[in-house]
Structures are given as structure tokens and as C-alpha cells.
Amino acid sequence: MGTTGEQLGVMKLSDALRKAQSLELDLVEIAPTANPPVCKIVDFGKYRYDIAKQEKDRKSSPAAKLKEIKFRVNIDEHDYLTKIRHGEEFLDRGNKVRVQLQFRGREMAHQEFGMQLMAKVKNDLGGMSQVEMEPKLAGRNITMTLSPLPANRRKRRFAPMAETVSPNGKDAPAVNQET
């Protein structure tokens, strides 16, 4: 195959090498198992770069993304459950989850409360994940990374909130009226 993509047909090896040298390019074997073997006249450095770029693109696409959930020490129970449900959802989709707990001001004086909260998160998401990086204090943050378990071993503890539909068809809690 020539430099512009046109096919040059079946050639002797010496003729192909001479043609490549006259164009100041390289003769690269593309399909060695074909009969006759398929070669291409290209710049070998550029060819290797393109192959490496294709490999990188192929590897990066199916990789798990890293999602993040941020907590504060004095989080309300409802907010906590909402964030845990989000964490389960991320893990269910096969993403890794970074759990970050942020201290502000005087909260740093009671870091044990932060570690207790991280232990609770680790326990609550234990059916969906395994700890990749244990909770670690870095500055004013405690960070922990969770990776999803294989799909057949995942067990959700906090189901997504089900929406109830009232008899009149509007989204509202259904009310049982007895007379």
C-alpha cells in the first residue's frame, strides 16, 4: 500500500524496499499471516504513535469512573441516607466511589466523630463494595475509596425511594380514607 492509501499490488521485497527508500519512508508489515504478506509504506514513528493512541483510547473507555460523595460531620440522617443511596447507585453501575468527609473550624477538635461516620459509611456500603483505600486524614478531610464488588455479589441495603401515586393520579402520598 502506498503513502496515499493506494494499492501498489504484489511486488518483490526488493522492489518494495527500493520504493520505500525512494520516498524516504519505511516498509512496515501489516498482516504477516496473509498470503502474500501485506505491507505498507509509512513513517514508522508516526505509525507506532497512531497504534499507541488507538490502544490508549480502547483501554480508557470501559474503565470505571471515580464518583465522589461529600459528607460533613454533623450530617442529618435523611441527608446521609440520600447520599448513601447515591453511593449504592454509583457502585451498582460499576463506578468507584471516593467518600470525602470535610471538617470546618472547631470540628477538627473531634476527629473521632468523623472516623465514626466513615466507619458507618463503610459498613452501610459493605454489601456493594470493598474498601480500596482505608479512611485517611489529610488536612481537613478524611478520604476513603470504595470499589464495587462483582455484580453477582452486590446486595443493596438502601433501595431507591419508591414514588407513590395517589388515587387521583398525582404524585403524593396515598391517603387511606375510611368512613
pLDDT digits (tens, 9 = 90+) for 149-163: 888 888 888 777 655
Sign of CA dihedral 137, 63, 147, 162: positive
Amino acid at 4: T
Element (H, E) at 98: strand 96-102
pLDDT at position 153: 83
pLDDT at position 151: 81
What tens digit of pLDDT does each residue of 18-41 get? 988 998 899 888 888 988 888 888
pLDDT score of 98 more than 90:
yes
Report DSSP letters for 60-79, one per residue: HSSSPPEEEEEEETT--HHH
What tens digit of pLDDT does each residue of 108-163 get? 888 899 999 999 999 998 888 999 999 999 999 999 999 998 888 888 887 776 55
pLDDT at position 164: 47
Task: Please tell me the distance from the alpha carbon of residue 77 to that of residue 114, in angstroms, as a whole number.
Answer: 15
Task: Please tell me the distance from the alpha carbon of residue 125 to that of residue 85, in angstroms, as a whole number.
Answer: 9
Q: What is the pTM of this model?
A: 0.55
pLDDT at position 10: 86
Range from 43-52, 92-101, 168-177 carrying the lowest mean pLDDT = 168-177
